[in-house]
Structure 1
Amino acid sequence: MPHDHAHDHGTPADLGPAFRWAVGLNTAYVIVEAAAGFLTGSLALLADAAHNLTDVAGLLIAWGAAVLAKHSATRAHSWGLGRATIMAAMLNALAILIGVVWVIWEAAHRFQTPVDLPGLTILVVALVGIAVNTGSALLFMRARKVDLNARGAFLHMAADAAVSGAVVLAATGILLTGWTWLDPAVAIAVSLLIAVTAAGLFREALHLSLDGVPGQVDPAAVADWLGRQDGVRDVHDLHIWPLSTTHTALSVHVVSGAQDTDAVLHVLAEGLKHEFGIAHSTIQVEREPCGTSCLRPGA
């Protein structure tokens, strides 16, 4: 039976410069913020510095995964190493969630032991943090729509910008009212919001790691489109799975009475790539439905 393999996996966006800038900026800011947190005793600043530190680690993981994804397939890894980007997205989400637990734990203790805080110093450092984190997030803003790994990096940076913004609010409140409890209260509130976003990222990465259909692809729409093409009488045994956070693979059986099956295969493979972004398709053409013989052990 004829097969067609569309081998063009596309070229991932070069995120190297974005990762270099983001890692450099955040590393420098972690050092400044941690020093300010220790000198002032601000839990919000220390929490944000710790969160930024996990972000640097997360960025390095995501960067490494993006590099691995560009490696060509080998005998040992016939699909290449694109799955590393899915693992990186999952690790990023876990890093955020671990940081959230630590912040909430420390904030709960701070309620019991209030500390006098220099609101102005905290305010200035947090404003710098907003600039650094917002700028870092913008580096991944476009790529986040098509790459879960880039989305993880974007969420890390956006979350830090939100934390820094909350710290600004807390510092302003402390300056105006002297209420030092605003520091841990804001830390807890923002951490809970970040946890919701991180949980969503983890859930999506876990789904992809289990060969789940990527969210941007509708299997029903793919099957319907295939069935409407000239020369195709039936579509069955359709499977769609991720090769990485940016590339998707498909295998399917189609029943066709066309004489020129090569032409049918070409139209289907090109259409899948342009209509659904599925660059690697394996299409088996049959004259008659294969019935139970299509089934494989464990299918």
Structure 2
Amino acid sequence: MEHDHAHHVGDYNRAFALGVTLNLGFVIVEFFFGLLSDSLALLADAGHNLSDVAGLLLAWGASYLAKAPATANRTYGWRKVPVMASLLSSLMLLVATGALGWEAFQRLFAPQSVTSLTVIVVAGVGVLVNTVTALLFVSGQHHDLNLRAAFLHMAADAGISLAVVLGGLLMLWQELPWVDPVLCLLVASFIIFSSWSLLKDSLDYALDAVPRNIDVQGIRQYLANLEQVDRLHDLHVWPLSTSEVALTVHLVVHQQSLDNGLLHQIQQHLHDHFEIDHATIQLESSLEESNCLLAPTTCH
């Protein structure tokens, strides 16, 4: 059963455009004031926000490629491009964050004074920008890996900027120059922790692992319990894209059950109850199962 999912990303073109514009503008402001105030925390957050801009651009561009039609040698089209974009974005983020974390660690032993009021004001703007951007993707995070990544990153950034504000208030109250590198290390640790989940999911999608929201055991039980089905074999479930899941299975059925009505019933149930978008089902008569090259008795 095929379903057109292009509208999912199409609805978010404006969200991507606004998110990129807001964050790119904020990166410039944050980087400028980070240099002006010599705040490593602001520079770290600016670098992170820049990687988010790159991630948004990657996801946005990949969404267009994903809608390209299938070709003779790419029969699924470019649906996997957003997965690769998400993987690349998470790797870039981890590398950049690791470099900034190392710089913060070195500054622990040579702390420098920071203009705390500047940190507070700029980071406060960051809370607003990141919260607004996160809200742009909040409704789409449940059905698309890229949108979930965008939402989680923006929500994390809002929390990180809030932490910078609190750290700035602390430095304003007490002259503690070591607070800035410590805060940067905390920010880096949080980003790495949140990015690891994105990296893992991206790798899983790239390697065609079953998406975590799909209940394979439940699918197997449903198919096995169908009255017309004697047994099943070669059940495979994998992510076709960041928002579509495919399934193939061989069902050994009674001779009288070899009709399209059963196929439609199963495909509709898999779509409605198990979030399977593309189900390819091969029906085999129990009398002819031995003719299937993939049947357990003939394929080892």
TM-score by length of 2: 0.93
How far the C-alpha of 1:30 sits from its partner, in A, is: 0.6
- Give the ranges of 4+ consecutive aligned residues of structure 1 lying more than 4 Å apart after TM superposition: 295-299
1:10 partnered with 2:5: yes
Note the alpha carbon deviations across 1:199-240, whole angstroms, 9 max, x for none.
111111101111111111111111111122342221211011
Q: Which ranges in structure 2 are unaligned for 5 or more consecutive residues?
A: none
**CA separation of 1:219 and 1:259: change in aligned 2, threshold 3 A:** closer
Deviates more, 1:216-225 or 1:20-29: 216-225
| Conserved? CA contact 1:9–1:247, under 8 Å | no
Counterpart CA distance in 1 for 2:195 and 2:290 is 44
**CA separation of 1:222 and 1:20: change in aligned 2, threshold 3 A:** same
| Count of residue correspondences | 294
1:48 partnered with 2:27: no
Q: Which amino acid aligns with 1:243?
A: L
The equivalent position to 1:202 in structure 2, one of 179, 194, 199, is: 199
Find the residue that maps to 2:141 and give its secondary structure.
helix
Pairing of 1:217-296 with structure 2 (within 5 A): 217-257=214-254, 258-288=256-286, 289-290=289-290, 293-294=293-294
Counterpart CA distance in 1 for 2:212 and 2:71 is 28
Pairing of 1:1-299 with structure 2 (within 5 A): 6-13=1-8, 14-257=11-254, 258-288=256-286, 289-290=289-290, 293-294=293-294
Deviates more, 1:116-125 or 1:86-95: 86-95
Cα RMSD (Å) of the superposition?
1.9
Give me the identity figure in percent. Answer: 41
**CA separation of 1:218 and 1:37: change in aligned 2, threshold 3 A:** same
Deviates more, 1:103-112 or 1:31-40: 103-112
Counterpart CA distance in 1 for 2:95 and 2:197 is 15
How far the C-alpha of 1:259 sits from its partner, in A, is: 4.2
How far the C-alpha of 1:32 sits from its partner, in A, is: 0.6
How far the C-alpha of 1:135 sits from its partner, in A, is: 0.8
Counterpart CA distance in 1 for 2:290 and 2:248 is 15
Q: Which ranges in structure 1 are unaligned for 5 or more consecutive residues?
A: 1-5
Matched residue, 1:3: none
